[in-house]
Structure 1
C-alpha cells in the first residue's frame, strides 16, 4: 500500500475521532478457541457472564495466536516480533523503539500493564517500563487493595484483577486523560483451582471437539481446566457488564483474546487452526464499525493492536505490522509466527500457507481440515508471498531496533 494512501487513511481516522476513548486489552490465560466455541449454557457452560457480554461484541471465532506460550505471545503482541525472548535477554532494559505501546503514550494515554501474577514474574516490574508502560501493577498491588482475595501459586484471581481495572477506569473518568490498560490474567493455569470458593456452573468435557485428545490433555484433568476457564471468562464478562451498566462502554474500547491454546493435545496434522486457535473479541463505542466488519474472516493476534491504535489514536500502521480489522480494504490472511522452523504461517479463506523455505507449502480446506495441496492456487501464492514479506519486515524492524 502506498505511503500516500496510508497518509490519506490516517488523516481520515484522525478527523473522525471526536474524542480519545479509553482502551482496555485483556490477554486471557489459555483462552482456547475450541473451549470458547464449545460453550453451552445448559450442559457445558464455559463462558459464564461472558456469554451475555458477547451480545454487543465483535466476535472473531476464527483466530490464531502469534506464538504458543504466554510470554512469547505477550512479546509478540507488544513488539510484533518473530524473535523471542527479548525482554529476558541483554536487551531487556533497553528503550525499544518498536514497542507498539509507545504509540499510545505518544498520543497522550496513561499506559498501564496489569496482571494477576506477582510483579517480579519475568522481571516485568523492571523491564516493561522501558517499552512504553508508565505503571505496572500485579498481585501485590491488587492484594493490597483487596486484602481478602485468595492468593495462589499462579497469582490472584482474575475477578480481582478486573475490579482493579475498573478502579483505574474510574480514575480516568475524573482526570480527563485517557488510559490504555493491558491486562494478563492468570487463573486458568496449572495448578488449576477456582479461587475464593467461587461456585461455577456445570461443565462437560464430552462436549469438546473430537479433534482433542482428552486422555492426553493436561493429565486428564480437563474438567477442572473447564471450571477455571469458566471462572476466568465469567470474570471478563462481569467486567464488561459493569462497564456497560456504568455507561463506560460509550467511551471505552475493550479487546480480549487468549494468549495461546497450549493445554490440550491434538493430532496436529490438518488441525493447526485448532491447535493455535484463540478467540479475538472487541467491544466498541462506534457501532457503525461493528456493523461493517467481516467476522467470518481469519484473524491473528497481530491484527489487534493495529486495530486498537487506528480506532483510538488515528495512527495507521503499515500492513507489515498486522491489519486494522475495521478498515474497508483489509487484506486476506492472518499471519502467525508459530512453527515451521520459526517462520510461521498464514491462514485465510483460500487455505493455509507455511512461510519456511524457498517454496511455499500450501494446504486446502476440506470441511474443517487442512489438507496438503499438490500446488498452490494463485490466491494462496499471493497470500503467502505477502505474509512472508510481512514476517521479514517485522524481523528487520526488531533487529534494527535492538541495535539502535
Structure 2
C-alpha cells in the first residue's frame, strides 16, 4: 500500500520555483545559515541555564475551527470552557493549521514541517525519519506517550510515531470493546479518563512526560452520548459542545493530580471545518484554529502575531529553556515574528498577512487575491504585497520538498542514536 501511495498524484513533487532560489529565500526569511551535513536551514538553539523539566500535555482538538469559539466571534455559545481557557492562557489569535486533515496537524505540530496539499507525509514505502518535539524531549529524559481513540495503525500513525520519538501508544486495541462507538473508536471523554491513571503512574517515576491526546468526536459520524445534554439542536453543534465539555472534565480531574502544577497544557485544533458560508475558494474556517498554552506559571495574554502549527515545537522548547539542534521550519513565536502565515488545503495553497489573502491552485496555475477589510474579504487587483505572500509560501513549500527528497529531515545525532 505504501509503494502504491508513493505513486499517487498528490505525492508527486510540487514545482513552484527553483530549489536553489527557494533555499536562499527561506534562509533569509528564517535568518538561518544552515548546519553542514544536516540541512541548509538547521541551527543550534542555545538556552542559558538548565532546562525546565515540566511535563507537557498536548491536546489535538478535532476539527476545532476558531470560528466555533466565542473568543473569535461566534454567538452560539458552543465552547464555554475553551473560551474561559482562552482568557487564562497564552493564546494566539492569528494561528493556522498546516493543512485540513488530522495527519497534517500531527506531523506539522510535532515535527515542524509544512504539509504539501493532500499528501500524508507520515506514509511511505520506507518510514520517514524526523527530529522534532518528541525526539528533543526524549533526549532530555522525557517519556513520550500518544493516546488516540481509533486503531493505532490508522494513517500509519503507530509505525511513524514509534519510529519518531514516542515510547508508548494507546489506541482502540487497548480499550474495552463496549466503549467503541463508531469507526473512529471511543469517544473523547473515555480516552481522557483512560489516560489519567497512566499519567499518574508516569508522574510517580519522578521523570517528566510528554503526552499527546488526539480527540475525534467532532468528526462525522457524530455520536452524542446519551448522558450529555446539549443546548443546541443541530448535531454538528451539539458535538462541539460535547467536545468542549469533555476537555473541561479532563482538566477538572487533572487539576486534582500531583503533577498538575508542574505541567504545561497545550490546546490546538488539528485543523478546522466549514463554518457558515464559504467566503472564498479556500474557506478560512478550515485553517484558522485556536492555540492556547496554559499552566501555573504562564501569564495569560493574547499573542496577535501570525503563527502556525510548525511553530508550536520551537515555542514550547523555548518556554522549557531547552538547547537543541533545530532542523525544521518553525520559529519561537515569543521571540521571532512571522510577516505572514502560509497553509494548504487539498488542492490549494494559501498565505495571509494582516491586509491580504493570496490563494494559488497548482493544478491550473490560477491565482486569487483578496484584501481584508474589517474581517471581510474582497477581490482586488494585484499589488506588491501579494508578490511577497506568493514568494513566502512558494519558497517554504519548495524548500520542504527539497529537504524531504534529500532526507534532510533529521538531526544526524538523533539518527545515530535511533540506529
Q: Same fold (TM over 0.5)?
A: yes
- Report the CA distance between 1:362 and its aligned residue: 4.5
Q: 1:38 touches 1:46 (CA, 8 Å); kept in 2?
A: no
Q: TM-score of the superposition, structure 2-length normalised?
A: 0.75
**2:334 and 2:316 mapped to 1: Cα distance?**
10
**1:282 and 1:363 mapped to 2: Cα distance?**
31
- Report the CA distance between 1:169 and its aligned residue: 2.6
Q: How many residues align?
A: 369
Which residue number corresponds to residue 167 of structure 2? 134
Which residue number corresponds to residue 372 of structure 1? 379
Q: TM-score of the superposition, structure 1-length normalised?
A: 0.78
Which residue number corresponds to residue 35 of structure 1? 68
Change (3 A) 1:312 1:200: farther
Indicate the SS of the match to 2:192.
Answer: helix
Gaps of 5+ in 2: 1-30, 35-40, 411-419
Pick aligned residue for 2:396 from 381, 390, 397: 390
Change (3 A) 1:230 1:383: same
Q: 1:355 touches 1:361 (CA, 8 Å); kept in 2?
A: yes
Structure 2 residue 53 is the aligned partner of structure 1 residue 20: yes
Which residue number corresponds to residue 318 of structure 2? 310
Which residue number corresponds to residue 212 of structure 1? none
**1:164 and 1:312 mapped to 2: Cα distance?**
27
Q: 1:38 touches 1:44 (CA, 8 Å); kept in 2?
A: no
Q: 1:52 touches 1:237 (CA, 8 Å); kept in 2?
A: no
Per-residue CA shift, 1:279-338, capped at 9, x if unaligned?
2221134325x44xx5233332222222223223624676961222222x3222222133
Which residue number corresponds to residue 263 of structure 2? 252
Gaps of 5+ in 1: 205-222
- Report the CA distance between 1:266 and its aligned residue: 3.4
Which residue number corresponds to residue 325 of structure 1? 333
Q: 2:96 touches 2:289 (CA, 8 Å); kept in 1?
A: yes
Which residue number corresponds to residue 47 of structure 1? 79
Change (3 A) 1:311 1:88: same
Q: What RMSD, in angstroms, separates the aligned Cα atoms of the two structures? A: 3.5
- Report the CA distance between 1:157 and its aligned residue: 1.3
Q: 1:116 touches 1:156 (CA, 8 Å); kept in 2?
A: yes
- Report the CA distance between 1:355 and its aligned residue: 6.2
Structure 2 residue 218 is the aligned partner of structure 1 residue 188: yes
Q: Greater helix percent: which structure?
A: 1
- Report the CA distance between 1:9 and its aligned residue: 8.9
Which residue number corresponds to residue 102 of structure 1? 135
Which residue number corresponds to residue 87 of structure 1? 122
